[in-house]
């Protein structure tokens, strides 16, 4: 055991420079830049003999970076204040000798058993008062000062011990914040919630006004009366629940900041990150609040095997992460080589799917492809999760695909640092996700992601690349802005959509947008509230449909879930209902506003109807696809300083020919006219141009 002395290592620069936010990790350690390739590496699960074999295989696969010590707290600090770093030092030394960079985790995602035994008050509590016990992971309350002190102490100790290690290129704080402990309702959290509310509102009068406590006799006369939204006999106050989500997100962020700041105080030249979880089930954390707090945005993404459009959801998630990075390159920190272990049916990936998935992330801005994990575990809750080295060893489909991907990423090294080009913006908002799916809403059949994914899917199939942006984004240069179910919107965010349309752009807005203000209060005067004037319509009443009921539109589309009693106030009807509760009432409208056009969709169109509408909006706005290809072929452009990189990903069962001039990088083939991309395969074409040439 070793005691880490007080103080720290001298400030120094890793290989000459600290990467700026958005610059891929490992670039400073590898002159000329590269795409990161590797995985979570958990050597503590294996003997030193296996470590030596791991290094050999990492060289064979072309691994450039691994993440180490994510869940190692129990080994790093086996007793309070006593640290054992010798095993980790041996691992890092071996990796450095093998030329492999390290993303070193602080190990604080899951406290060890001794910590929970010594501090049971740090265990999280559910909304109905049940204490959650250790035995899984993330068994800690985000508001616990005891947890934060212990986590920060471990992070500081690691920084003092390894801050000058030559393998270290990136700090990895915690892991997947909020995955299992996003909300804690204990008394410690209650006190922290009250402090957060005091800072937000100042006094109880402002709190009562924001929460609308005149309803149901909820008015507060003393701060000690204010509690988290614990289980109650009836619907809980919606703004209280919204604020508790905001508070919980901020408490997790403060946990990250505490460790980050401790690391930065000792190793100011080492970039710091934590891994986000932008995918279809991760709604607990508002990552717009987090994005500016990391030196590089990273993400974990896992496919849902039951989703036939999982590759489109992958593209959407990647575009969200690029939006969080402000358009800069980001890093895919985790995904799976094949099956995961936590879905009802964990399907293996088909031949070629590993490469397609990985390069789809790279196409949309990731400067690498990392996985969970390096070697499949023999024991534990994730022993059936796939890895780069599977249980069956290297004479396997997975290993051959891993080696193929490593070679591909080496050939695509020039892509590192380039940026994705997009003409269309889609507004995405975690707070609208929270409020659209809150209790006591007009219809349980309305899901926020359903609306978002439906429109994104149509854009993907139309062949256009999308930038996903927050509601407060600057939209002035956008030709088309898509606004799905932006239920909660500030006056400023609504004005930004108005401005882009007035200046000549187009906005496509769906039902349940503009309905409430940031306190979750209805905007009175008729729906869609903040967007009434822009859209030239007034909705007097929602008419949700019964479960399974559909209606027909006079343009041939079918719709479900939702209709509205809508009146034209300057807009033109594009399509009306033929039947259902509102025959003859407009369902889709178009309005001239300033020099642009506002489109409104007052129902849940079927996929064909959504596709036709999106393509109409794009055509009238003059937005064309990146390349004319059959549906199911994904084309994305990344623009570098002196070249344009065109990714062509063929998700279909047939070969496709695409126009191409330049060099195909994966096959190292010069191109003069066209290229055939076989079924299920990927091509990356390097074209002349770039930011210093013909590109944008």
The DSSP symbol for 2 reads B
In the annotation, is 77 catalytic? no
The DSSP output letter for 559 is: E
Residue 636 burial (CB < 10 Å; 0-12/13-18/19+)?
buried
Dihedral sign for Cα 130, 136, 142, 145, please: positive
Secondary structure of 592-650 in HEC code, one letter for each residue: EECCEEEEEECCEECHHHHHHHHHHHHHHHCCCCCCCCCCCEEEEEEECCCEEEEEEEE
Cα separations in angstroms, 467 against 21, 148, 696: 19, 36, 15
Write the CB contacts of 553 (distance below 8 Å, at least 6 apart in sequence).
559, 575, 576, 577, 578, 587, 588, 603, 605, 609
CA dihedral for 570, 575, 580, 584, sign (positive or negative)? positive
Do residues 360 and 310 lie in contact, with contact meaning Cβ atoms separated by under 8 Å?
A: no
Structure tokens at 237: 């106050």
Could you report how far apart the first and last alpha carbons of the chain are, in Å? Answer: 56
Helices 48-61 and 397-411: crossing angle, nearest 10°?
50
* Cα gap 446→239, rounded to integer Å: 20
SS3 state at 329:
coil
**With b meaning 16 or more CB within 10 Å and e meaning fewer, what string describes 20-45?**
ebbbbbbbbbbeebbbbbbbbbbbeb
Three-class SS string for 234-263?
CCCCHHHHHHHHHHHHHHHHHHHHHHHHHH
What's the rounded Cα separation, in Å, for the pair 335 and 39? 9
Peptide bond into 528 cis (omega under 30): yes
Element (H, E) at 272: strand 272-273
The residue annotated as part of the active site, out of 23, 77, 176, 431, is: 176
| C-beta of residue 605 within 8 angstroms of C-beta of residue 613 | yes
Catalytically annotated residue among 23, 77, 334, 687: 334
Strands (E), 471-556: 480-483, 506-510, 537-544, 550-552
Phi and psi angles of residue 671, each rounded to the nearest 5 degrees, phi first: -130, 135
302 Ramachandran zone, left/alpha/beta (phi>0; psi -120 to 50): beta
- Strand pairing partners for 591? 598
- 323 neighbors 299 (Cβ within 8 angstroms): no
Sheet holding 572-576, edge to edge: 466-469, 424-427, 480-483, 506-510, 596-601, 586-593, 572-576
What phi and psi values does residue 120 have, to the nearest 5 degrees? -60, -20
DSSP structure class, residue 44? G
The single-letter DSSP state of residue 672 is S
Does the annotation mark 44 as catalytic?
A: no
Catalytic residues: 176, 334
């Amino acid at each position: 055991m070793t005691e880490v002395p007080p103080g720290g290592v001298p400030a120094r620069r890793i290989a000459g420079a600290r990467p700026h936010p958005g610059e891929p990790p490992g670039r400073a350690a590898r002159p000329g830049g590269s795409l990161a390739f590797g995985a979570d590496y958990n050597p503590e699960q294996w003997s030193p003999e296996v470590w030596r074999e791991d290094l050999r295989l990492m060289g064979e696969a072309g691994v450039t970076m691994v993440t180490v010590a994510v869940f190692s707290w129990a080994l790093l600090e086996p007793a309070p204040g006593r640290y054992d770093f010798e095993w980790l030092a041996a691992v890092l030394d071996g990796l450095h000798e093998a030329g492999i960079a390290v993303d070193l985790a602080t190990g604080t995602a899951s406290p060890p058993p001794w910590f929970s035994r010594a501090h049971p008050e740090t265990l999280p509590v559910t909304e109905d008062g049940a204490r959650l016990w250790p035995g899984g992971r993330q068994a800690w309350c985000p508001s616990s000062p005891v947890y934060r002190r212990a986590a920060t102490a471990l992070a500081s100790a690691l920084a003092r011990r390894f801050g000058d290690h030559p393998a270290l290129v990136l700090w990895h704080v915690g892991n997947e914040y909020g995955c299992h402990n996003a909300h804690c309702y204990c008394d410690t959290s209650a006190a922290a919630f009250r402090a957060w509310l005091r800072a937000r509102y100042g006094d109880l009068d402002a709190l009562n006004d924001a929460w609308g406590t005149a309803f149901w006799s909820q008015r507060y006369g003393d701060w000690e009366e204010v509690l988290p939204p614990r289980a109650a006999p009836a619907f809980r106050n919606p703004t209280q629940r919204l604020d508790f989500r905001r508070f919980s997100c901020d408490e997790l962020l403060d946990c990250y900041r505490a460790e980050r700041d401790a690391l930065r105080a000792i190793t100011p030249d080492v970039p710091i990150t934590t891994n986000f979880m932008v995918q279809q089930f991760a709604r607990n954390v508002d990552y717009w609040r987090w994005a500016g707090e990391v030196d590089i945005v990273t993400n974990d993404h896992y496919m849902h095997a039951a989703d036939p459009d999982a590759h489109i959801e992958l593209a959407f998630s990647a575009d969200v992460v690029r939006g969080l990075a402000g358009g800069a390159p980001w890093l895919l920190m985790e995904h799976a080589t094949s099956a995961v272990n936590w879905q009802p049916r964990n399907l293996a990936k088909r031949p070629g799917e590993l490469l397609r998935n990985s390069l789809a992330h790279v196409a949309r801005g990731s400067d690498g492809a990392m996985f969970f994990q390096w070697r499949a575990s023999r024991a534990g809750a994730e022993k059936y999760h796939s890895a780069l080295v599977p249980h069956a060893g290297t004479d396997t489909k997975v290993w051959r695909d891993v080696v193929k991907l490593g070679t591909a990423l080496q050939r695509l090294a020039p892509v590192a640092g380039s940026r994705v080009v997009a003409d269309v913006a889609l507004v995405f908002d975690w707070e609208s996700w929270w409020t659209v799916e809150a209790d006591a809403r007009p219809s349980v059949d309305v899901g926020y992601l359903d609306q978002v994914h439906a429109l994104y899917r149509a854009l993907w199939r139309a062949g256009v690349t999308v930038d996903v942006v927050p509601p407060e984004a600057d939209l002035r240069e956008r030709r088309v802005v898509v606004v799905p179910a932006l239920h909660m919107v500030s006056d400023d965010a609504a004005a930004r959509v108005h401005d882009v349309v007035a200046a000549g752009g187009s906005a496509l807005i769906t039902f349940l947008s503009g309905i409430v203000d940031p306190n979750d209060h209805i905007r009175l005067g008729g729906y869609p509230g903040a967007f009434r004037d822009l859209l030239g319509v007034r909705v007097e009443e929602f008419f949700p449909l019964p479960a399974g009921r559909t209606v027909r539109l006079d343009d041939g589309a079918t719709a479900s879930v939702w209709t509205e009693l809508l009146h034209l106030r300057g807009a033109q009807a594009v399509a009306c209902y033929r039947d259902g509760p509102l025959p003859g009432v407009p369902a889709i409208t178009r309005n001239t506003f300033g020099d642009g056009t506002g489109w409104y969709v007052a129902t849940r169109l079927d996929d064909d109807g959504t596709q036709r509408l999106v393509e109409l909006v794009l055509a009238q706005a003059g937005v064309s696809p990146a390349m004319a290809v059959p549906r199911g072929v994904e084309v994305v452009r990344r623009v570098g300083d002196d070249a344009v990189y065109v990714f062509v990903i063929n998700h279909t069962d047939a070969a496709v020919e695409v126009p191409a001039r330049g060099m195909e990088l994966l096959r190292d083939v010069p191109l003069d006219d066209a290229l055939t991309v076989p079924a299920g395969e990927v091509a990356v074409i390097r074209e002349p141009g770039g930011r210093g040439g013909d590109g944008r």
